[in-house]
Structure 1
Amino acid sequence: MPPAAYPTSSADLDTAPAPSSWRQALRVYAEPASLRMLALGFSSGLPLLLVLGSFGFWLREASIDRSSIGHLSWIGLVYAFKWVWSPLVDRMPLPLLSRLLGQRRAWLMLAQCGVAAGLAGMALNDPQTALGPIVWCALAVAFASATQDVALDAFRIESAGVERQAALAATYQTGYRLAMIWAGAGVLALAAYAEVAGAGYQPGAWRFAYGAMAASMAVGILTTLLSPEPAPRPPSAARGAAAWLRETLVEPFADFFRSHGRGALVVLALIAVYRISDVVMGIMANPFYVDMGYSKAEVATVTKVYGVVMTLVGAFVGGALAMRLGVMRVLMAGAALSALTNLLFAWLGTRGHDVTGLVLVVAADNLAGGIATSAFVAYLSGLTNIRYSATQYALFSSLMLVLPKFIAGFSGDVVDRFGYGAFFVATALLGLPVLALVALARRSTPVRTP
């Protein structure tokens, strides 16, 4: 269906027409566009843990120090700069592929094949003896994954109207989190399966696990091949190289500031810090589990399966609440809950090896994260102009990572100096400015031009 009109202000995200019943609100999850986002969300979610989360577990098992693990989390900054090449993804056709598949699917296919190749490269190396090559492969995975996200965000935004973006975000998050179960619990389970009992660190087990992850990208590749290309965007009026460059590189950003006026700075500040508590805390989560003595099986079951299920519950709750109550109200609740649940990790650090405590903390943290993420994705989608969907959404989703990922790179140094408890409390305090910015963004009324 063609995209609906975009909201004219942040406040409009709270006052859009609500479905007449909860059944009607939930029925949208069975629509074809939502189901496609389930599989494509899986393809998008698979690489992230494999270069950041599970990769950290692998590095710690290979006796890489916490400070280095923290610094290597800067690989994630690749995602923060995807806006740099997003105009090319938005506008530049790929030879042959764009003619066969269309603009969005061509870039999706190229990026998904790049992710698979990078993961295969990681599988062929061992961080204990070849840290450099495996880091370069991880960087390649991150670059291809970020490119996939640019194309997929545009594909999602152009596949349905703004009134369905929260639902598409929820099904996208479902696929994304299912991939995180596979890239988290699955990769640990496969590595454990391939190990020889009592033999200590075994790089061959991790090679087997990462090889299986590379093969799993077939889900996204097949879905891209079978999905319809979204309806073409309004044609560009640009003529000549200079006009094309202006339309491609300048207009997406100029349009945002024209549309949102003085409120643009508040919106950008909110985007820059909304997920800061979760992102900074998350880098040290896997080293924390290793240092607290949790086994691969415990981490896989509790944090990578049960925790992701709770995130899915939160995503669906957040999507439904956003349709009924408005995005901005749920955005505020998600910000508060995400910061508060970090304090539970500080409490868990005083418990030693406590599996029951781990279950409770992971449940609360992931439920809050799912609610916050669904509302945030819907908020970003509502800010985007259909003419520049890939570029503008890439700018928003990149901006939300720059500061958090940069700060997260020092997380290992903070833990080494002050301990896990102080670190988790500090990450909770980082969420306080977010609440004020949500309140400011809710009161602002930036006008979007047609």
Structure 2
Amino acid sequence: MALHQRQSALEHTHDSPHGWQILLITVRDPRARTLLFLGFAAGLPLLLIFSSLSLWLREAGVDRQTVTFFSWAALGYSFKFLWAPLVDRLALPGLTRRLGRRRSWLIAAQIAIIIAMLLMAFTDPALGPRHLFTLALAAVLLGLSAATQDIVIDAYRIEIAPPAMQALLAATYIAGYRVGMIVAGAGALSLAAWFGSSSAVYSYSAWQATYCIMAAVMLIGIITTLTASEPTVATQNTAENDQFNSRHNARLVALFLITASLFATTFFLTSQVFNAFTALSESSVLIAFISEAAHFLFALLTAIMSGWLLVRYGLVQSHYARATWVAPILDFFQRYGTRPALLLLALIGLYRISDIVLGVIANVFYQDLGFSKPEIAGAVQTFGVVISLIGGFLGGLLATRFGVMRILMLGAVLSALTNLVFIGLAIAGHQLVLLYVTVSADNLAAGLASAAFIAFLSSLTNVSFTAVQYALFSSAMTLLPKLLGGYSGSIVETIGYPAFFVFTTLIGLPVLLLVWLARHIVQIKT
């Protein structure tokens, strides 16, 4: 009865004048607690692919450019919309009947995350290219399984609560996410240092123990999944999708695996051609980026055309293929219209570009300035994450009080401008106080912008296609920034850190116009 009353209070709060009252109701809601721990499980793998892994690789003697290329291991986050329809449609044998569609996929993804972490733990990148390649494959597996977990958690969050709760539930989710990042960031760095690894003395056993501990911590996510309740909407969708019998499901999976394999094969076989073109550019970072983007697009288009031919020749009935992959996309364009939908996708694709591109190389930047691993862990992975928690809750409250689009604009302005603070740190060098100031500005802006942006993305989804559409939006959010971020090391080598930070600010300015234009579209639709 109390839970029903809390739900009713939130569902009827349209003008949302009492932000702190809503925050109290949200924190006391069991759904918020579930999202807090699921957010922790989602935040844990990210830094084990990015910053913590980058410091491990640097201590192992891997060059800076190769380290930043490892950020591409997380491209599964950017392409997760390709298999999100399978997560929405397919039942997992032995799990779905017991746990439901959302929780069964969560358990499967979380087990895969633990396996990937253990594979990384038992691979030493310092032993040569073959071991470095094995570590890259394990990191890719971690990225794919973590992206799958994100698909399910995002759908779960949208389905389990009414729209009035989404901004503050997003802040709760971000809080757990950031705590997970503290554990995977500051926690992992502190453990590696405590076990005896440093930039001066590399210890593989220290990093091995660290990643094994991170795999054990991931059990928190599994316990949360097993004790959480299944969303009613997901249960309804399960009944609606019973028409997809095991034979059709197997064919859908086969179609996806074949096209994914063709993408990987095409990308691998054409690498020498595109690398040769890049070499002719005399190490131009812009030409290299365009070449690599064209490389990705060529492989992707080849896979899509191959999938279309396989459907046409009967591997999967066209009705099932359309219902799985095409219908969610058509729904979005039909609801908003072609031009407004494209503008919204452009906003989604560019909104986080400033902080993602900078974030790929941030820890390497701190290390190049002479900051020790404990100093980086304390400032960035502990203090910075606490500041981002404050920013997240502030963003949730402000979005509830003043509207999502206004705070989305504020977040875009702050995300771009705070990158300029890094210039002062680059000039000052090893100044611990200035490091904390820089981290504070960056994380406060990122937390505020993230809370508003998650609520914005949630408002664009149709509950009939929750997982697919949100995965499409979040994939579009990270694809271009991560592709460009993979070249952040090369850009810094060419123009230096101060000019690089100016560059990351400038590429965030077009976002302001896009937010202003999207504001009118969303107002018309709401």
| TM norm structure 2 | 0.80
Of the three residues 58, 61, 84, the one matched with 2:59 is: 61
Q: Shift of the alpha carbon at 1:132?
A: 1.1
Matching of residues 287-302 of structure 1 within 5 Å: 287-302=364-379
Match of 1:250 in 2: 326
Q: Shift of the alpha carbon at 1:410?
A: 0.8
Alignment deviations for residues 10-61 of structure 1 (CA, whole Å, 9 cap, x no partner): xxxxxx8223423322122221111100000000000010011111111111
More displaced stretch, 122-131 vs 179-188: 122-131
Distance 1:197 1:63 in 2: 11
Q: Shift of the alpha carbon at 1:98?
A: 0.5
Match of 1:8 in 2: none
Distance 2:240 2:328 in 1: 12
Distance 1:227 1:350 in 2: 49
Distance 1:20 1:343 in 2: 34
Q: Shift of the alpha carbon at 1:196?
A: 6.9
Matched residue SS, 1:350: helix
Distance 2:123 2:192 in 1: 15
Contact 1:264 1:446 in 2 (8 A): no
Distance 1:23 1:292 in 2: 41
Q: How many residues align?
A: 437
Distance 1:448 1:162 in 2: 15
Matched residue SS, 1:125: coil
Distance 1:89 1:287 in 2: 36
The code of the aligned residue for 1:296 comes to: K
Matched residue SS, 1:128: helix
Is residue 147 of structure 2 the alignment partner of residue 71 of structure 1? Answer: no
Alignment deviations for residues 314-360 of structure 1 (CA, whole Å, 9 cap, x no partner): 00000010000000000000011011111111110011110000000
Distance 1:168 1:368 in 2: 18
Distance 1:158 1:226 in 2: 17
Contact 2:103 2:226 in 1 (8 A): yes
Distance 2:89 2:491 in 1: 42
Is residue 39 of structure 2 the alignment partner of residue 41 of structure 1? Answer: yes
Distance 1:25 1:270 in 2: 29
Of the three residues 369, 374, 383, the one matched with 2:451 is: 374
Q: Shift of the alpha carbon at 1:244?
A: 3.4
Match of 2:236 in 1: 233
- Cα pair distance change 1:417/1:392, threshold 3 Å: same
Contact 1:127 1:134 in 2 (8 A): yes
Alignment deviations for residues 387-444 of structure 1 (CA, whole Å, 9 cap, x no partner): 1000000000000111101111111001111111111110011110000000010012
Match of 2:158 in 1: 157
Match of 1:166 in 2: 167
The code of the aligned residue for 1:181 comes to: I
Distance 1:270 1:196 in 2: 42
Match of 1:103 in 2: 101
Match of 1:9 in 2: none
Contact 2:59 2:198 in 1 (8 A): no
Distance 2:340 2:332 in 1: 10
Contact 1:342 1:365 in 2 (8 A): yes
Match of 1:11 in 2: none
The code of the aligned residue for 2:362 comes to: A
Contact 1:41 1:172 in 2 (8 A): yes
More displaced stretch, 51-60 vs 79-88: 51-60
The code of the aligned residue for 1:322 comes to: A
The code of the aligned residue for 1:185 comes to: A
Alignment deviations for residues 163-212 of structure 1 (CA, whole Å, 9 cap, x no partner): 11111111100000000000000001100111079971111111111111
Match of 1:89 in 2: 87
Report the RMSD for the aligned CA atoms in angstroms: 1.9
| TM norm structure 1 | 0.94
Match of 1:440 in 2: 517
More displaced stretch, 72-81 vs 98-107: 72-81
Contact 1:46 1:183 in 2 (8 A): yes
More displaced stretch, 244-253 vs 132-141: 244-253
Q: Shift of the alpha carbon at 1:445?
A: 4.8
Contact 1:263 1:446 in 2 (8 A): no
More displaced stretch, 54-63 vs 296-305: 54-63
Q: Shift of the alpha carbon at 1:289?
A: 1.2
Matched residue SS, 1:413: helix
Alignment deviations for residues 205-258 of structure 1 (CA, whole Å, 9 cap, x no partner): 111111111111101000000000000235548957543332222111110001
Identity percentage of aligned residues: 48
The code of the aligned residue for 1:122 comes to: M
Of the three residues 265, 274, 278, the one matched with 2:355 is: 278
Contact 1:260 1:446 in 2 (8 A): no
Match of 1:222 in 2: 223
Match of 1:12 in 2: none
Q: Tell me, which stretches of 5 or more residues in structure 1 are unaligned? A: 5-15
- Cα pair distance change 1:342/1:387, threshold 3 Å: same
- Cα pair distance change 1:426/1:199, threshold 3 Å: closer
Distance 1:409 1:336 in 2: 24
Matching of residues 127-206 of structure 1 within 5 Å: 127-129=125-127, 130-195=131-196, 200-206=201-207
Is residue 18 of structure 2 the alignment partner of residue 25 of structure 1? Answer: no
Q: Which fold has the larger relative contact order, with Cα–Cα distance below 8 Å and residues 6 or more apart in sequence?
A: 1
Contact 1:381 1:393 in 2 (8 A): yes
Of the three residues 499, 504, 508, the one matched with 1:422 is: 499
Match of 1:267 in 2: 344
Contact 1:263 1:445 in 2 (8 A): no
Distance 1:396 1:198 in 2: 39
Which has more helix, going by share of residues?
A: 2
- Cα pair distance change 1:411/1:369, threshold 3 Å: same
Contact 1:259 1:446 in 2 (8 A): no
Match of 2:308 in 1: none
Contact 1:238 1:247 in 2 (8 A): no
Q: Tell me, which stretches of 5 or more residues in structure 2 are unaligned? A: 8-12, 249-316
- Cα pair distance change 1:149/1:222, threshold 3 Å: same
The code of the aligned residue for 1:220 comes to: G
Match of 2:441 in 1: 364
Matched residue SS, 2:348: helix
> For the pair shown, which has the larger CA radius of gyration, 1 or 2?
2
- Cα pair distance change 1:446/1:255, threshold 3 Å: farther
